[in-house]
Amino acid sequence: MDNLIVKKLVEALIFSSLEPLTLSYIKKVVGNYGDFDVNKIIKEIESDYKDKGINLFSSENKWFFRTSPLLNNYLKIETEKKRKLSKSTMETLAIISYHQPVTRAEIEKIRGKPVFKGTIDILLDLKWIKPKGRRETPGRPMTWGTDDEFLKHFGLRNINDLPKVEELESIGLDDK
């Protein structure tokens, strides 16, 4: 199998997948056909699509195609459901995203208010958070962190792309 065929294979794998694909998975599939530089191939595909209506995008080292951000104002999904989240849900999400992995008790301590089960359930349903394991403390409480859907929804490549607290304060979004 030559490089052109492998490039087409990688493109088809990513395009046809229902979920973003990890680099290790792509390398495993391609490895069945020989020794190819998958990183180079992905960069080539990314370059091929950079000026098109869809782009190759990565988040948390998982690859997927999505509509070019330049078209955001022109394309809207008609079945998109708007859901206004409560202030407590948004506070909880912010705490999880900035302090992950974090337990419910830690969230409550930061907020100064209880976190109701329904709040966590809403964020789980949206796939914006997920369990990140258990703390090695008495009671072994569950810890929470953001999920890939959180990154995709807010257009982040990884969690480090969140605005810094100083940036939020400079535009008046601090907690004062």
Residue 24 structural domain? 3-71
Residue 176 confidence class, pLDDT cut points 50, 70, 90: very low
Q: Which of 71, 97, 120 is the last residue of a domain?
A: 71
Q: Out of 5-9, 13-17, 83-87, pick the least confident.
A: 83-87
Q: Which of 47, 71, 95 is the last residue of a domain?
A: 71
Bridge-partner residues for 129, per DSSP?
Answer: 146
- pLDDT tens digits along 130-164: 999 999 989 999 999 999 889 888 888 888 888 87
What CATH number is associated with residue 35?
A: 1.10.10.10
For residues 36 and 10, what is the distance between their CA atoms, to the nearest angstrom? 11
- Altogether, the residues listed in the chain come to a count of 176
Would you list the DSSP string of 90-117? HHHHHHHHHH-SEEHHHHHHHHTS---H
Average pLDDT of the chain, as a whole number: 87
Residues 26 and 61 in one domain: yes
- pLDDT tens digits along 49-95: 999 999 999 988 899 999 898 888 787 665 555 668 888 999 999 99
Beta strands in the chain (DSSP E): 21-22, 54-59, 62-67, 102-103, 129-134, 142-146
pLDDT at 14 over 90: yes
